[in-house]
Amino acid sequence: MATDGQFVDTLGSRCAGRVGPVRPGDGVRGSSLVETVGQPPSAAPDRSRWGRLHVLDWIALGLAAVGVVCVLTGLLPRADAEATVRRIVPILIFLGTVVVLAELTAVAGVFDALAARVAITARGSYRALFWLCVGFASVTTIALNLDTTAVLLTPVMIALARKLGVPPTPLAMTTVWLANTASLLLPVSNLTNILASDRIDLEPVPWAARMWWPQLVAIVITMLLLWWWYWRPARAGADPFVPPPPHVPPDRVLYRTALAACLLFVAGILAGVEIGLASGVAAAILVAGFAVRARRSLRLALIPWRLLVFVTGLFLVVQTIGRHGLDTVMGTLIGADPGAEGALRAGGVGALFANVVNNLPAYVAGEAVIAPDHHTQLLALLIGTNVGPLATPWASLATLIWYERCRAAGVAVPLGRFVATSAALAVLATTATVAALLVGPGS
């Protein structure tokens, strides 16, 4: 594809600390769908990752350095910087541990087994496969977060499509669209949700009670457009398909341990356990299992240091820019109306800025100018920065990771079609989801 070279290379593997295939002697046998697509060679030593910085590593380190300079020069008062760091420490703990949990879960074969079960359950029906893939991507995003869906589910879905002999693009688009639009239901589903839940002081169950209707609307609109623009045109020649055999996990003990750890994590979140503690305990259980049965899979590359450094620097830089003009611009655009007009403006501005820069700084900048008691307006901003970041490949980290994963797997996604269809979804889904927020339960 001619436009592939215009985008950042290897973001997913660099930002999320991808692990390679399990090697002989690790106590794990066999291979997985994840290993077949977009993975670095297993022979590559860890020191090649840590001893040579990629351009994205330099971007993360550079952003963090700019943030430090802002503090040292007084552009960002030290007290404000300390308050920001205290606020994001639990978020960083969650990000670091949930990535480790997700990566080791993939190595244990849980995602592969679920993908194979999806295809078997469809019984050769292309329409049933569509419904099940939508559910698979939605549940992964809601329970583990959107970046997990982008990093881990994208290669699994592409490999599954090829194994079934169906076009990979519909499954790939299902992954990226639902990674964004299905990230509203729980605080853990998106980093912006964690920030918003802290701001309005909602625990996971009350949060889900407030957001289930907007989340359902966002998923339904995504499904309709996915079917009409991607799945329906590819149906000819792909229906029916031959279901694959059940996936055999390379190590059944590790598979069950990973599955139990993920279920424990989700249960902890729903029970109101602090997110960093829930993800940390679940990750620790799985790490212990790998330490016993596949120690070589436990590598420093599992720790997503680039992502942690990037997020820290981003918060400091955005806060500094906010103090020197951005807050004024955002305040003028979003306005102070706590009603329907203010919510629609917040959602639209959030989606627009997310596609221009990125959804995380767009949310942080918007949050800074919304009154503390304007909860509906804040949630509308959240919808704009979660559901809206679709029209440009850099609008969210998940979309960037997904684009790289597709490129690494050799799946050509025409840029013009991607931007046009994704922009239409962003506009329709953001508007309808904000409207659902205004008229739904708890409004």
Residue 54 is predicted with a pLDDT of 65
pLDDT higher than threshold 80 for residue 110: yes
Contact criterion met (CB below 8 Å) for 136 and 114? yes
Per residue in 121-133, pLDDT (tens digit) is: 988 888 999 999 9
Contact criterion met (CB below 8 Å) for 23 and 296? yes
56 band by pLDDT with thresholds 50, 70 and 90 = low
Residue 440 is predicted with a pLDDT of 75
Per residue in 362-393, pLDDT (tens digit) is: 898 898 889 888 999 999 999 999 999 998 87
State pTM to two decimals.
Answer: 0.74
- Across residues 78-96, what is the average pLDDT? 84
166-171 LR contacts (CB < 8 Å, sep 24+): 166/126, 166/129, 166/234, 166/238, 166/241, 167/234, 167/238, 168/409, 168/411, 169/230, 169/234, 169/411, 169/413, 170/130, 170/226, 170/230, 170/231, 170/234, 171/133
Other C-beta atoms closer than 10 Å to the C-beta of 184 total 30
Per residue in 278-292, pLDDT (tens digit) is: 889 999 999 999 999
Residue 408 is predicted with a pLDDT of 67
Q: Where do runs of H (alpha helix) occur along 126-245?
A: 126-144, 146-148, 154-164, 168-181, 191-200, 204-226
Identity of the residue numbered 206: P
Residue 25 is predicted with a pLDDT of 34
Residue 177 is predicted with a pLDDT of 95
Question: Within 13 A of 24's CA, how many CA atoms are on the CB side?
Answer: 0
Mean pLDDT of the chain: 81
pLDDT higher than threshold 50 for residue 26: no
